[in-house]
């Protein structure tokens, strides 16, 4: 194929000539049109749709501040804590960069949790957006890994003992567990090898995967188009030019809209950085301002707030919880077997039930705690195939569905709160009830999502100009 230089008018400016030269070799203008000025988004997007753009901004903040922190940080067990103190006290504006990075970690999860909640209530995981949701869940997993590996780097008391607890959990996996824990630590105890290993994961490996997943997430989104609060496909109704009647160009309409909310977000971000970077111990814990001491265990070890819902599920899985958990899973599997159309599927459900019975008999609670904690995240990947509702958006679902979603959110918040608190018999029982509800929300979705009287979905989006 012959190369063709893009033509420009003789009186074109120098900038236009440079852009034409670049466009001939790299389609910058075409990409801008495809993903911004000629990408049509539904005109009824609301407040909940700002969090995707905010997540990209926070990712940029984290990468930028991370680069400056790495310039002065030393991944050495003997010097890591002192290097963080050096950044805070001696490096010009180092304290701002460090607090921006620590605040950004928490704000990242705030934004992502809100982004996922919006997808949950408006059915953004439904056909044809399954791949977008899968990429999003993979991003969430990467964020959890990135946050966990980064949490060790300050080499404070909670960093050290938090890593000790989490890495030791992998030893509960049959056969490969001890070797897997040893590989993660790089040694028989959490030490210098662990710090170097986690530093490599946090700074190089996971960010590369994360950026690739974010790019794939956006490309998949722009291929099938954005969902909207009505769950109506705007591509089904086009005008004479082939543009969606109920759509508007993302730029300038939504880009300006997002910039306005971004201003408010950055003001909140700045207020936290300058006035409450520790956020009462939720963003930065007091124990992490004490150098790591392998000989002194903190009175209460708990992860940062964004891990605590899953940590609560881990702690809730005790030996006396295994029987109720098995009964719950048995009921779900029997319901799946009854719903199955083929004997082969029924047999698979019953086989899983038998395997679980044997597993609960011979494997300890620690192993099942790890399974529940990991499964509570992995199950989100299957959400597009668990939801059998005839409509996407919660707007057109039965009223009791809203209560189910509401109780799910409350249960998740309770799990998050209890994960921060010291363990107690009462908190353990509450955590177990919330864990059952969390799992039941997803595993029972094929059954309850079909129940009730659904409202008719309009053929066009419902929109009123402000």
- Annotated binding-site ranges for a ubiquinone: 222
Report residue 272 as tokens: 């936290």
- In angstroms, the CA 234 to CA 225 distance is 8
Asked if 306 contacts 415 with a C-beta cutoff of 8 angstroms, the reply is: no
Rounded CA separation 162/198 (Å): 13
- Alpha-carbon distance of 464 to 314, in angstroms, equals 46
Sign of the torsion formed by the C-alpha atoms of 16, 20, 21 and 26: positive
3-state DSSP assignment of residue 259: helix
* 219 C-beta neighbours (distance < 10 Å), count: 14
Q: Which residues are annotated as a binding site?
A: 101, 115, 202, 217, 222
In angstroms, the CA 332 to CA 41 distance is 39
The string of DSSP codes covering 43-109 is TT--GGGGHHHHHHHHHHHHHHHHHHHHTT----TTTHHHHHHHHHHTSTTHHHHHHHHHHHHHHHH
Alpha carbon 446 to chain centroid distance? 23
Phi, psi of 207, deg, nearest 5: -55, -35
The backbone torsions φ and ψ at residue 266, rounded to the nearest 5 degrees and listed phi first, read -65, -30
CA dist., res. 43 & res. 461, Å (int) = 8
Residue stretches of the annotated binding site for heme b: 101, 115, 202, 217
Q: Which structure tokens are listed for 10?
A: 């003789």
The DSSP code sequence of 339-365 is: H-SSHHHHHHHHHHHHHHHHHHHHS-H
Residue 466 Cα distances to 43, 44, 64, 358, 463, angstroms:
12, 11, 37, 60, 9
Q: Give the orientation angle of helix 130-152 with respect to helix 365-378, to 10 degrees.
A: 130
**CA–CA separation, 245 vs 450, rounded Å?**
31
Q: What residue has token string 């708990």? A: 302
Question: What is the rounded end-to-end Cα distance, in angstroms, of the chain?
Answer: 50
Rounded distance between C-alpha atoms, residue 466 and residue 459, angstroms: 22
């Amino acid at each position: 194929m012959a190369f063709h230089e893009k033509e420009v008018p003789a009186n074109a400016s120098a900038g236009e000539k440079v852009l034409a030269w670049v466009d001939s070799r790299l389609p910058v203008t075409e990409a801008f049109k495809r993903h911004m000025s000629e990408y049509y988004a539904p005109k009824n997007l609301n407040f909940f749709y700002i969090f995707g753009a905010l997540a990209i901004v926070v990712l940029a903040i984290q990468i930028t501040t991370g680069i400056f922190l790495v310039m002065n940080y030393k991944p050495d067990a003997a010097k890591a804590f002192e290097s963080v103190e050096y950044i805070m006290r001696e490096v010009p504006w180092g304290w701002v960069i460090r607090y921006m990075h620590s605040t950004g970690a928490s704000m990242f999860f705030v934004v992502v949790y809100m982004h996922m909640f919006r997808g949950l209530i408006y059915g953004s995981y439904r056909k044809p957006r399954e791949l977008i949701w899968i990429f999003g869940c993979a991003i969430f997993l990467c964020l959890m890994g990135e946050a966990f590996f980064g949490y060790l780097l300050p080499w404070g008391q909670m960093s050290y003992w938090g890593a000790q607890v989490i890495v030791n959990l992998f030893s509960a996996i049959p056969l490969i567990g001890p070797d897997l824990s040893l590989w993660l630590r790089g040694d028989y105890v959490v030490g210098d090898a662990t710090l170097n290993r986690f530093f490599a994961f946090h700074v190089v490996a996971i960010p590369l995967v994360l950026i690739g997943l974010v790019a794939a997430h956006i490309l998949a989104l722009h291929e099938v188009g954005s969902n909207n609060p009505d769950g109506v496909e705007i591509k089904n109704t086009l005008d004479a030019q082939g543009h969606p009647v109920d759509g508007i160009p993302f730029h300038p309409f939504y880009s300006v809209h997002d910039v306005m909310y971004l201003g408010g977000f950055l003001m909140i971000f700045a207020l936290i950085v300058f006035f409450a970077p520790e956020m009462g111990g939720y963003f930065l814990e007091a124990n992490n301002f004490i150098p790591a001491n392998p000989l002194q265990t903190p009175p209460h070890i708990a992860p940062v707030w964004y891990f605590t819902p899953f940590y609560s599920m881990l702690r809730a899985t005790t030996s006396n919880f295994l029987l109720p958990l098995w009964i719950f899973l048995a009921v779900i599997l029997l319901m799946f077997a009854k719903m199955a159309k083929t004997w082969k599927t029924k047999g698979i459900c019953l086989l899983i039930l038998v395997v679980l019975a044997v597993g609960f008999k011979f494997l300890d609670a620690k192993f099942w705690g790890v399974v529940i904690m990991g499964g509570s995240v992995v199950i989100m990947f299957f959400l597009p195939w668990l939801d059998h509702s005839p409509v996407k958006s919660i707007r057109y679902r039965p009223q009791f569905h809203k209560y189910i979603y509401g109780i799910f959110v409350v249960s998740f918040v309770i799990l998050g709160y209890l994960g921060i608190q010291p363990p107690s018999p009462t908190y353990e029982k509450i955590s177990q009830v919330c864990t059952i509800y969390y799992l039941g929300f997803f595993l029972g979705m094929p059954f309850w999502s079909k129940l009730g009287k659904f409202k008719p979905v309009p053929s066009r989006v419902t929109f009123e100009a402000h």
